[in-house]
A and B are shown apart, each in its own frame.
Chain A
Amino acid sequence: MSKTALRVAGLSFAASFACGIAGSADAQLVARKDISSAMALTMAETAIATCKTNGYNVSANVVGRNGEVIVAMRGDNTGPHTLENSMKKAYTARAQRRSSGDFGDAIKDNFTAGALHLTNIVTARGALPIKVGEDTIGAIGVSGAPGGEKDEACAKAGIDKVADELK
């Protein structure tokens, strides 16, 4: 290679290096992990089966990072509202990054809390965020058991089932 060619090559290398740095600061794609439908099915089935074992018929929803429904399951012999309610609880847990019950407790005496006026936000216990570390990638909501804490226990069982893969 000639001296000139070497210089050109060196220049290219330097330029691409500089661009690489600029890229990572301004325009690099966001790398994220998301819930697969297979994982969502496992969570929902486990939650419903757990409540069944406890003697309760429930419906369950698993929503993804943007609150979109990944899996919705209407439990046998459940009230007609449970599918909707489990979705709204899940949406709330996803949006708030905490259990829907904790959200409900936090705004208990504040009827004008802004979040209450958003679509699909509810104050009922029974949903938990699904997290990878500190990153909330979705939520699972359960409705139908006699008491939100009983719904929440089944939601927890659903997440526990796939806990090893949430990384």
Chain B
Amino acid sequence: MSRIGLRIAGLSVASALACGVATSANAQLLTHKDLSLAMATTIARATIDACKAQGYNVSVHVLGREGQVLLAVRNENAGLATFENSMKKAYTARTFSRSSGEFAAGVKGNPNAGALFLTNITPAQGALPIKIGNETIGAVGVSGAPGGEKDEACAKAGIDKVSADLK
């Protein structure tokens, strides 16, 4: 290779390196893990079964990272509103990265809380965020048991079923 050739090659390497650095700082793609349908199905089934074992018929929603519905199950023996309510509880838990019950406690006594005016936000216990460490990747919402804390216990049973895989 000629001297000029070597210099050009060196310049290329230097500029490629510079661009590489710029790319990683500004425009690298995000990498994250998301729930699979199989995992969502396992969560929903375990949730329904846990409530069923206690004598409660519940509807369940499992939502993904963007609040999108991954899985919805209407329980034929639960009240008509439970299908919608389980979705809204789950959306609330996903949005605030905490249980919908904790959100409810947080806005209690504050009917003007801004979050209460958002679509699909509900101050009702019965949904838990699904997390990998501190990162919320979805939520499971439950409705139909006589009391939000009972709904939430079933949601927990659902998440516990897959907890070993949430990493």
Contact = CB atoms under 8 A, between A and B. Distances in A.
A72 B71 contact: yes
Interface of B: 36-38, 41, 45, 48, 64, 68-76, 83
A36 B76 contact: yes
Contact of A48 (B37, B48, B73): B37
A166 interface: no
A37 B76 contact: yes
Contact of B74 (A68, A73, A83): A68
A34 B69 CA distance: 24
The binding surface of chain B is classed by DSSP as: mixed
B76 A73 contact: no
Contacts of B38: 76
Nearest to A63: B74
Contacts of A36: 76
B69 A37 contact: no
A69 B69 CA distance: 12
Instruction: Give the size range of A's interface with the partner.
Output: 20 to 34
Contacts of B41: 41, 45, 73
A162 to B, nearest CB: 15
A157 interface: no
29 contacts: A36-B76, A37-B48, A37-B75, A37-B76, A40-B73, A41-B41, A41-B45, A45-B41, A48-B37, A64-B74, A68-B74, A69-B74, A70-B74, A70-B76, A71-B71, A71-B72, A72-B69, A72-B71, A72-B72, A73-B37, A73-B70, A74-B37, A74-B64, A74-B68, A74-B70, A75-B37, A76-B38, A80-B68, A83-B68
Interface string A120-140: 000000000000000000000
Contacts of A70: 73-74, 76
7 smallest A-B Cβ distances: which pairs? A72-B72, A70-B74, A74-B70, A76-B37, A76-B36, A37-B73, A73-B71
A34 B72 contact: no
